[in-house]
Amino acid sequence: MHSPSGVELAGLASLLAAVPAVALLGNSGRRHTGAARRAHLLLAAGAAVATGAALAGLVSALFMAHDEMRQHVQTLGQAVAVAMALGTLTLLAGTLMLPGAAENRRAALRHLLDGLVIAAAIWFVGWTLVSDPTRILGDLTPVRCLSVLLGAGVATIGAGLTTILAVHAHRPRHITVRVSAGVTLVALSATLVPGGICQGGPIVVLLGALMLPAGLVVVARAVKVADRPVTVAGDITQRGTGYAFWPMAAMVLAGTAHILAGGEFTGFGFLGACIEGFALVSRQYVALGDVRSYTLQLRQREAHFRELAHTDPLTGLANRRGLLRALRETPVPGHPRTLVGLDLDGFKNVNDMRGHDIGDAVLTEVAERLRTVLGAGDVAARLGGDEFAALMQATPDEAMAVGERLLAVLCEPYETEDGSIFLSASVGVAGSLTPGDTGELMRDADLALRYAKQRGKNRVERYQKRYDELLRRHSVLENELRHAIDRGQLRLVFQPVVALPSVRPVGAEALLRWHHPELGSVRPDEFIPVAEESGLIGSLGAWVLDQACAQLAQWLAAKHDVWVSVNLSPKELHAADYAGQVAAVLDKYGVPPQRLVLEVTEHAVATDMDELIRRLVELRSTGVRIALDDFGAGYSSLGQLRNLPVDILKIDHALVAEPESRTGMAAPLVDVVVRLGHRLGLEVLAEGIGTPAQREVVEEAGCRLGQGSLFGWGVPAEHLEAQLRAGRATAQRPVPAPRSRKTGGAPSAPARSQIVMLGPGMRQVRAVLPTDPAFSSDQDMRSVDAPREMGQS
């Protein structure tokens, strides 16, 4: 055994400095979990193997006899080279497994192959430099210790992998690049230490001994933050390909220079070229697999997005696009298809009162109920909001039966966290489908659904051809109605309101008429709904109010004691500042407010009662009077009648024309309504009087005002004015009432109503019978329009 030199001792001390770095790597591996733990443990294991091999080789070289060392120097160098190469390869594997180096194993394989491409180029260029004729290392060329080449090969792989990670690792890249660079230093050490031992060069061993701890310290410091979050960009289209071009260019240039200098290709050069070729082919094979996988992902995503584009996200049913796609599919021969449209009645109130979360829960439950009713081959869809549809493999008759079952199922209560919700539905059924009429079928189903809602909702309607004619008629009426005022096609007629029993006209109801030059006379019950649906009712109502007040002003200027009533739609009533509009029109023509009566239909009473009362109070504050039209049609209750701020009660014509009951009394409800109205301090007007018998019944009930065909239809203003002049000139006395058909006794006069003062500011209307002392058959009805007579407080 010889005495170690200072250089050898320095190398040994340097290798001992690598032990703490190995300990740090091992401790880091114990602190982590998952993939990071495996990567850190691999790094620690590789560092331990490389450090142990280097220490063992250096100690063996120091304490072995010099003569014996010469005999075993190559064997020792080979053993150290193999052991340190294994440790370095383990370090490289741990580097590829670090978080941020690669998103998966396939990506790690790509990095490795890319590194081999660069490594093979470095190997080939290095071979051209160290071999003849260049031979840049001169006598230091390790020709006697071929095992050094193993470490050199691992070092080139480390250098190539470092380059690739610097380009393609996930951000932040500096962490993995530092680890890979540290491993490359260890790989260089695995080349120098065995080479120095084999060649007998202590300076080379010292350089290798210095590189090993330096590389391990770099790795140990970098892995402390190697598991921090990284930005993953897995799109293969964003990867560069320059790494494949420049290595090949370097090999071509180096090989050309080597040949021109007179060099020859040996096995090591051929090995580098073969590795480069196989690495490139393998990389292209992997790239082809990446492209194939990427294409498959694109197809899957496209199919997924296409499905999302045809699916309703809330219910999971098809949406409108999905339904159209199903409609465009060629139907199976012999299997007719029918489209069913469905709309929930009153669903908007659910969203407004319970919130959209409850509304969404109800819609989801509707979808589930649709699935339970429909068959396997049927397509259910949510078209938007509360509108659904179903494409059924059935005939229209079968679809009608399914529609009835749908009504029964959808009308069942919906149990939510906010309580039970009750809804109904309207269903429209369109006939069987033939190829090419998709749009027509959907339009037919929409038409059927529309008429189902117009006819009372909660019903099933099947499409009929006449619906097209009605739709075209509706469209024409809407378009023409927009210009009817400007073109002078509208006019007002006035139906007289007479005092009973004198039959003298005391008022008139303004009725709107439309005469079109091509369509002819259009009925109000046809164009008024069109105006309400299209939003034209506001402009029509304003025109009617203006014309009625203008005519009323003319009659009043002519000293006619008369009042005029105008029908008021619910939309007008709820319009902003409608009371101000009425007051402005009255002021424009100088009409006393009490001479104008605004008639509210009983249908409006079915809406929000508090809001209705507020609106009517605003109108009455202008001085006009309010009449409740069509009383008895089905909505009003006694409690509502007591609370409503109205002045006149108009008995519906259905009550006036009611046939005799089993008791033998004709129209028994007329008497009840008249007495009820008088008890509440209201004036009562019976409309729809068409026969003398009906007039007799109304008069016997004590009703003082009448209206109907018996007294005249709606006539132009000049005709009614002639009646007013005739009534004022002749001052006819009332005709005595005919003998009662029920008693068969002496003639008796009809009952009347009389206002009785109960105290200061208090009064009550009561029925005055012919037997009462206060009854007078020649009661004057000329002042019937005064607020005192009309129940105005």
Confidence of residue 606 (pLDDT cuts 50, 70, 90): low
pLDDT at residue number 434: 54
Which range is most confident: 72-86, 427-441, 477-491? Answer: 477-491
pLDDT at 495: 96
- Residue appearing with tokens 């007040």: 549
Percentage of residues in the chain with pLDDT exceeding 90?
34
Pairwise CA distance, residues 184 & 91, whole Å: 9
pLDDT of res. 759 = 34
Q: Is the predicted pLDDT of residue 209 greater than 80, yes or no?
A: yes
Read off the pLDDT of each residue in 323-343 and give the average, rounded to a whole number: 85
Task: Please tell me which residue, 339 or 240, carries the higher pLDDT value.
Answer: 339
pLDDT of residue 70: 56
pLDDT value, residue 220:
87
**Among the ranges given (236-245, 401-410, 588-597), the one the predictor scored with the smallest mean pLDDT:** 236-245
Q: What is the pLDDT of residues 272-295, one digit of tens each?
A: 889 888 888 888 888 888 888 888
Top-ranked range on mean pLDDT: pick from 304-313, 331-340, 552-561, 661-670: 552-561
The answer to whether 100 and 111 have CB atoms below 8 angstroms apart is no
Average pLDDT of every residue of the chain: 81
On the question of pLDDT at 544 being above 90, the answer is yes
Among 53-62, 83-92, 139-148, 151-160, which is the least confidently predicted range? 139-148
Residue 586 near residue 622, CB atoms below 8 Å: yes
Confidence check: pLDDT of 516 > 90? yes
Contact 506, 498 (CB under 8 A): yes
Residue 223 is classified by DSSP as: G
What pLDDT is recorded for position 402?
93
**Is 551 a residue whose pLDDT tops 70?**
yes
Whether 769 shows a pLDDT value over 60: the answer reads no
- Average pLDDT of the residues in 338-361: 90
- State the burial class of residue 430 (Cβ atoms within 10 Å of its Cβ: 0-12, 13-18, 19+): buried
pLDDT of residue 586: 96
Q: What is the pLDDT of residues 183-201, one digit of tens each?
A: 999 999 988 888 888 777 7
Higher pLDDT, 639 or 609: 609
Bigger pLDDT: 113 vs 730: 113
Could you tell me the pTM of the whole model?
0.55
pLDDT given at position 208: 86
Conformational region of residue 388, where left means phi above 0, alpha means psi within -120 to 50, and beta covers everything else: beta
Task: Say which residue, 501 or 431, is predicted with more confidence.
Answer: 501
The pLDDT assigned to 619 comes to 92
Residues 702-711 have a mean pLDDT of: 93
Q: What is the pLDDT of residues 367-419, one digit of tens each?
A: 999 999 998 889 999 998 999 999 998 888 999 999 999 999 999 999 988 88
Q: Which of 510, 531, 444, 447 is nearest to 715 (CA)?
A: 510
pLDDT tens digits for range 52-86: 988 888 888 776 545 555 556 778 888 888 999 99
Q: How many residues does the chain have?
A: 793
pLDDT of 492 above 90: yes
Residues 6+ apart with CB under 8 A from 619: 578, 579, 582, 598, 626
Per-residue confidence band for 17, with pLDDT thresholds at 50, 70 and 90: confident
Q: Where are the alpha helices (DSSP H) in 261-384?
A: 267-309, 320-328, 347-354, 356-373
| pLDDT of 413 | 92
Six-digit token pair at 285?
Answer: 């094979």
* Residue 496 banded pLDDT, cuts 50, 70, 90: very high
Kindly tell me if the per-residue pLDDT of 242 is higher than 70. Answer: no
Across 676-705, average pLDDT: 91
Mean per-residue pLDDT, 528-542: 90
| Per-residue model confidence as pLDDT tens digits over 103-128 | 778 888 888 888 888 888 888 898 88
Most confident of 168-182, 572-586, 646-660: 572-586
Q: What pLDDT does residue 740 have?
A: 38
Q: Which tokens go with 608?
A: 């929000």
Alpha helices by DSSP H, 171-266: 174-199, 202-222, 242-260
For residue 240, give the DSSP letter: -
Average pLDDT over residues 594-617: 80
State which of 69-73, 340-344, 742-746 shows the largest mean pLDDT. 340-344
Give Cα 311 distance to the centre of its chain: 12
Residue 764 pLDDT level (bands cut at 50, 70, 90): very low
Instruction: Please give the share of the chain, as a percent, with pLDDT higher than 70.
Output: 82
- Which of the pair, 670 or 432, is modelled with greater confidence? 670
683-686 and 705-706 beta bridge pairing:
parallel
Q: Is the pLDDT of residue 770 over 50?
A: no
